[in-house]
Amino acid sequence: MLKNMKIVIIGGSSGIGLETAELAIAQGAKVIIASRSEDKLKQAEDQLGSNASSYRVDTTDEQDVRAFFEAVGSFDHLVVSAAETSGGPFLDTETSKVRQLFDNKFWGQYHAVKYGVPKISPEGSITLFSGVVAYKAMMGSSMLGAVNAAVSSLGQTLALELAPIRVNVVSPGIIDTPSRSKMPEEARLQFYDTLARKLPVNRVGRAEDVAQGVLYLIQNGFVTGTVLHVEGGHILT
Ligand SMILES: NC(=O)c1ccc[n+]([C@@H]2O[C@H](COP(=O)([O-])OP(=O)(O)OC[C@H]3O[C@@H](n4cnc5c(N)ncnc54)[C@H](OP(=O)(O)O)[C@@H]3O)[C@@H](O)[C@H]2O)c1
């Protein structure tokens, strides 16, 4: 079903985006990955092979995003997994840090949709990224929860406004990707271990778990305006 489909994955040089690119190519798609770092893009392109090409783009820069889509031309599906996030106690976090978080995760996805839509096929789709902390309150995640909730809401309303293009949102739980390597390894493994004991599935997520969800949203023509939770039952705990 993905044979010869052109899929743009902004954030495709790492983690869930890279895994999505890999699975999509295995199903016959041509993939364009984009992010800020030339080095990460080169490494990802080498890993993905000849059905992938790459562009440098910073989603926080509106003109950069506009130029990116002009260069890419028409395509079928858009996935925006690009984000650099941070957390911390509400009262101890500088307002400028919170603005940066919204610039990156909310405004980045907003720019991508705004300038990507004119290039997307009417049979195509958009998949945006929210996250579990929008649905499950966790200490230190008030701002990230708010940004994720904003993305979920944006995606659901856009499913009406941008139809027939389908718009969906995926909401990952705690997934072991390079985005978590900011935490020192020992603390990270301990966090994973404690969480795994709590979750009904007894493990933290892998990039592939979420990538499979993204491919489902891309391929199922009867699904739009949904938030797909791929989080191992975290919300239930
Ligand atoms: N991993 C988790 O536990 C988890 C949980 C909930 C939600 N999520 C969400 O899932 C999505 C993917 O996360 P991940 O864990 O796969 O992260 P990741 O491995 O860090 O990958 C993020 C990607 O986004 C790119 N990126 C970041 N800022 C960008 C910008 N301004 N413009 C363009 N590209 C940018 C990065 O590349 P460059 O550095 O080259 O730009 C990288 O390719 C994010 O929306 C994240 O918030 C993840």
pLDDT per residue over 144-173, tens digit each?
Answer: 999 999 999 999 999 999 999 999 999 999
Contact 27, 1 (CB under 8 A): yes
108 in ligand 1 pocket by Cβ < 6 Å? yes
Give residue-wise pLDDT tens across range 78-87: 999 999 999 9
Any atom of ligand 1 within 6 Å of the Cβ of 83: yes
Q: Which domains does the chain have, with CATH numbers?
A: 6-236 (3.40.50.720)
Ligand 1 atom index nearest CA of 179: 20
Please name the residue whose Cα sits nearest to atom 7 of ligand 1: 131
| pLDDT of res. 91 | 98
Residue entry with tokens 């990224």: 129
Distance (Å) of CA 131 to CA 33, 48, 74, 136, 183: 21, 26, 29, 9, 18
Q: Check if 234 has its Cβ closer than 6 Å to any atom of ligand 1.
A: no
Which ligand 1 atom is the nearest neighbour of the CA of 174? Answer: 3
